[in-house]
Amino acid sequence: MARYIILTGIIFVIIGIILQLFPGLMHWLGRLPGDIRYESGSTRIYIPITTMILLSILLTIAVNLLRRLL
């Protein structure tokens, strides 16, 4: 269990460093077709449906790969 927590922490640190070095790398995230955005006056509603589906698929693949490798 501790091994998974340490590995997750290392992955988050690497992702954080990459995003700090290349800030425009993920500008497309949250602006995909299928993400719902509504603005009217002072009201803003944002529902990232497509982004959440994409992240769910990617995380599922990553977790399954880690399980098979470890």
- Among candidate residues 37, 61, 56, 60, the one with its CA nearest the CA of residue 47: 37
Total tally of structural domains belonging to the chain: 1
Distance, CA of 52 to CA of 70 (rounded, Å): 26
pLDDT at 1 over 80: no
Helix (H, G, I), strand (E, B) or coil at 49: helix
- For residue 23, give its domain range: 2-69
Mean pLDDT for 43-65 is 92
What sign does the CA torsion over 24, 30, 54, 33 have?
negative
For the stretch 13-45, pLDDT in tens is 999 999 899 988 888 877 889 999 999 999 999
pTM comes to 0.65
